[in-house]
Structure 1
Amino acid sequence: MTAQPQIKSDTPANSMRKYTLWALAWPIFIELFLQLMLGAADTLMVSRISDDAVAVVGFSNQLFAALTTLFVTVASGAGILIAQGIGARREEDARTIAVMAVSVSLVIGLALSVFLYLLPGEIAAVLQMPEELLPMASIYISIVGGGMVLAAVISTLSTVIRNTGNTKGPMYTAIGMNVVHLFLNYAFIFGAFGFPAWGLTGVAISTVVSRLLATILLYLMYVRAFERRIQLRDMTLFDRKLFGEVLRIGWPLGVHTSCWVLTQLAIYTFIAMLGTKELAARTYMNTLESCCFMLGYSIALAVQIQIAHLFGSGQTREAYRMAYRALWIGIAIVVPGALLLLLFGPHLLGLFTADTEIVAIGVSLLALNLLLQPGKMLNMAMGSSLNALGDTKFTMVASLTSMWIIAAGLSYMAGIHWGWGLTGIYLCMILDEYVRGALSLWRWRGQKYLKRAEASRLGVNSSDGPDRPDGPDGPDGSGRAGRQSDGESLLSAPAVEL
């Protein structure tokens, strides 16, 4: 990275902050929980309009998620480098990366907004939206999609803020966004408080308004996220070398994320081929299923931040052990959650719809969810740990292989060609999670990047070749790369406080 003036180590913003896993994870959990509640409330309120409206929202959200991968490339790479930079006392580099990430995401978001606003019906038709849902989908996609720039900026701002160690800021923003969105949803759907009863159109407007307010709040936190406040004139900052580092780490993450989202979109297309009831059932199951893994996912995100900080500061052995701690903590949480969902899921599904056929389809998936969640936790924990080191190309290759062959290709064969229906598709999704999780675990146990960083810290010469995990400065900013010495073992790392 570019050379920067020495930063005093005793300044709070620049010192290597000591965070426990729980201190990082619980605000992320609250944020994810509120997002889940927002989605559940959306689904519950929209279900009062019709099951067709629920299908439109679920399908459209998959489309939006697919398009977000265009700016996730920048946001994800920037987040990891910001965490590593702060850990290595390079806050000026981290600040510059944050500015560039927001600026680029703004441009990408504006382009997506124009695209979705002008061609909503054509996009829905190409993605095989059932014909009877096209008019409703066109309106919803044009409004929510027209505000896609807000989603782009929110995602990047949240990533930047979170990777400085401030996980509470996005949480508070999520609280405010939930309150506004739920209020406007209720007002527009039911015509309360003097608002017009605009149905699904009102839900779309509510989404855009709440995102606008969230963007404002996050921006106010963003400009104060670093010791030197970010000014509007800084938005023109551009460092080619640093941006190259962002893309080096970020583009595999973007491909990885796009693989997941696009295969999910493909799976939704297969489910749409089965019928509207199956599509609605999967949308309801998505909401319930999120209850099981959201705390596990918050742990995975938290350990990514923590490992990136530890790796940036040269504490490689602690970083190695933290991945396993996060994995076992996550499994201990998601499995009981899946079991509770198996017990109470039928009653919860009944809250969303009175259609007994849709409830029956959803119930048939609850037992499979108990098998899904441990594999998902394995994949999230180990994948996030690899990403924290910058080993993003491996997760990309694993995703390209498993998602397209198993999650997409095999899902079509099982669900459509062989006639196994939604159950067959779900079984393929489970297999995909375990395959990717096992590959990431194998990669992590090899300790490739950690050994090089440890050797660099100890001043040992490398014989592993020129491939460097952390750009031009090496893994710890020293410009050296190396192999772990024979007398040091990462497995003998001291315990890290949770």
Structure 2
Amino acid sequence: MLDKNTSKFTLWVLAWPIFIELFLQFLLGAVDTLMVSRISDDAVAVVGFSNQLFQAMTTLFMTVASGAGILIAQKIGSSKSGDARTIAIMALSVTTLIGIVCSVILFAVPEQIAAVLQLPENLLPLAGTYISIVGGGMVLIAMMATMSTVIRNTGNTRAPMYVAIGMNIIHVIMNYGFIFGAFGFPQWGLTGVAISTVVSRLLAVLLLLYIFLRSFEYRVKWREFRVFDRPLFGEVLKIGWPLGVNMSCWVFSQLIIYTFIATLGAAELAARTYMNTLESFCFLLGSSIAMAAQIQIAHLFGAGRTKEAYRSAYRALGFGTIYVVVNGFILFVFGKQLLGMFTNDQTIIAIGASLLGMNLILQPGKMLNMALGNSLNAVGDTRFTMYISLGSMWLVATVLSYVLGVHMGWGLIGIYSCMIADEYLRGALSYFRWRNQKYLRKAEQQAEPMNHHTTPIEPIPAQV
């Protein structure tokens, strides 16, 4: 019989609230895209471009938040809840400060940033408005991301889900009001969408803060935010900085790829934004399983249950691959009709439809990469995932994208081909690294002086 604490860390118990939360986040993005498309395709291109910029900025604080999340799950697994609590407090303090700096920069010089990133000149005024408002609230994104990560890694994946539900409802209602002038709202178009985004995030932060303060055995006091434990924060950074580099590689490579697409034209940029929305839906369940596996494996690793941690990665990979293949096939069959919901521009629909078959190939590679990459991160092997990201994302996904997509004129087809190659290459390297069990064996060797009955891990077939 599993005790209450252990039962919180089973794969399904962790995964289903994460899935619902991610689904609602996707819904938020999809509704944004669908409603903004009623303004113009240019507005959609601006939102898609801006979101890539915001993701690039989030890597600055997610370095701390992600490292803290993994370490919190490990500390709880090893019955060091006091350390987990201290780590959570420090993570929120540091990321909030980073978020404030990001907010000031994006609010002060939005058009200049967009121009440097090669956004077409006719889109700069729209981008300036949207980036200054939503980017000015970057501190809210920092606080939301950190508190959600901390709360999830304590085993409570339901609370962020409930907050996401409330945030989505408020955002959709306000979006509708601002875009169409309903419910007594002024008809402010893209400016209204930006305001709606910031207000819904502010309310979400207040709810998450209430939950965060009560997520550990003893309620977090305000005065504790002045506490800074250097050795513990050093542990966070040891895990977190390679994760930050890893995330930076992905986000900045995607941002650069967006600049490549921007040079192809506004239609290609809008098509990529629409396809990104559909692809996100396709991968939602796979992503939630991979995230749940990371929490579960970190907890098992902290508890010294290395054999179970090893098996969990393959179980997550097997289930996730089935789901993403099914979803990819559904999108392949109905994708053109779904694109028609967002735009009437037949050029944009044709460009997006040409990528549906490639997406079906892409999804299993993403699942392989994310499931096993997250598993390596969960046991602290973050430098390896960083090294393969530095090599593959920049050389294959970015440089080769320019060569094939822009220089050789293959367009989005060439760029997608490079994205697929990148996912499978990193996935394959992560697979062989996980099979090697380096960190799991090291943990067992360290535990042997305390437990002479520990036996080495036997190789286990990578099947579910």
Matches of residues 109-148 of structure 1 in structure 2 within 5 Å?
109-148=99-138
SS in 1 for 2:183: helix
Please say if 1:241 is aligned against 2:231. Answer: yes
| 1:490 positional shift | 3.7
Which 4+ stretches in 1 moved above 4 angstroms?
A: 15-18
Matches of residues 61-140 of structure 1 in structure 2 within 5 Å?
61-140=51-130
Partner of 1:369: 359
Measured in 2, the distance between the counterparts of 1:222 and 1:18 equals 17
Partner of 1:38: 28
Measured in 2, the distance between the counterparts of 1:417 and 1:40 equals 32
* AA in 1 matched with 2:54: F
For the Cα contact (< 8 Å) 2:9–2:299, is it kept in 1?
A: no
Measured in 2, the distance between the counterparts of 1:293 and 1:187 equals 30
Measured in 1, the distance between the counterparts of 2:142 and 2:65 equals 9
For the Cα contact (< 8 Å) 2:72–2:88, is it kept in 1?
A: yes
* Structure 1, unaligned runs of 5 or more: 1-9, 460-477
Measured in 1, the distance between the counterparts of 2:133 and 2:28 equals 18
SS in 2 for 1:192: coil
Please say if 1:289 is aligned against 2:289. Answer: no
1:223-250 Cα offsets, whole Å, 9 max, x none, are 0100011011111111000000000000
Partner of 1:211: 201
SS in 2 for 1:121: helix
| 1:424 positional shift | 0.3
* AA in 2 matched with 1:164: T
Measured in 1, the distance between the counterparts of 2:69 and 2:231 equals 16
For the Cα contact (< 8 Å) 2:8–2:156, is it kept in 1?
A: no
Please say if 1:451 is aligned against 2:441. Answer: yes
Please say if 1:224 is aligned against 2:192. Answer: no
| 1:291 positional shift | 1.6
For the Cα contact (< 8 Å) 1:33–1:294, is it kept in 2?
A: yes
Measured in 1, the distance between the counterparts of 2:273 and 2:298 equals 34
For the Cα contact (< 8 Å) 2:46–2:126, is it kept in 1?
A: yes
1:292-338 Cα offsets, whole Å, 9 max, x none, are 11100000000000000000000001100110010011001100110
1:401-436 Cα offsets, whole Å, 9 max, x none, are 000001100000000001000110000000000001
Partner of 2:240: 250
For the Cα contact (< 8 Å) 2:435–2:459, is it kept in 1?
A: no
Partner of 2:328: 338
Matches of residues 301-380 of structure 1 in structure 2 within 5 Å?
301-380=291-370
The structure whose residues are more often helix, as a share, is 2
For the Cα contact (< 8 Å) 1:144–1:204, is it kept in 2?
A: yes
Measured in 1, the distance between the counterparts of 2:116 and 2:158 equals 40
* AA in 2 matched with 1:301: M
Please say if 1:429 is aligned against 2:424. Answer: no
Measured in 1, the distance between the counterparts of 2:357 and 2:197 equals 33
Please say if 1:391 is aligned against 2:359. Answer: no
For the Cα contact (< 8 Å) 1:316–1:490, is it kept in 2?
A: no
| 1:290 positional shift | 1.1
Q: CA RMSD in A?
A: 1.8
| 1:17 positional shift | 4.8
TM-score (norm 1): 0.91
Name the CA shift for 1:213/1:290 in 2 (closer, same or farther; >3 Å): same
For the Cα contact (< 8 Å) 1:55–1:280, is it kept in 2?
A: yes
Measured in 1, the distance between the counterparts of 2:409 and 2:195 equals 39
Partner of 1:202: 192
| 1:72 positional shift | 0.6
* AA in 2 matched with 1:50: S
Measured in 2, the distance between the counterparts of 1:16 and 1:457 equals 20
SS in 1 for 2:237: helix
TM-score (norm 2): 0.97
For the Cα contact (< 8 Å) 1:299–1:330, is it kept in 2?
A: yes
> Identity, % of aligned pairs?
66
Measured in 1, the distance between the counterparts of 2:207 and 2:147 equals 10
For the Cα contact (< 8 Å) 1:16–1:89, is it kept in 2?
A: no
Partner of 1:180: 170
Measured in 2, the distance between the counterparts of 1:381 and 1:319 equals 13
| 1:266 positional shift | 0.5
Name the CA shift for 1:359/1:11 in 2 (closer, same or farther; >3 Å): closer
1:130-184 Cα offsets, whole Å, 9 max, x none, are 0000001000000000000000000000000000000000000000000000000
For the Cα contact (< 8 Å) 2:106–2:132, is it kept in 1?
A: yes
* AA in 2 matched with 1:488: P
Q: Choose the corresponding residue for 1:153, options 140, 143, 162.
A: 143
| 1:457 positional shift | 2.3
Q: Choose the corresponding residue for 1:488, options 439, 449, 456.
A: 456
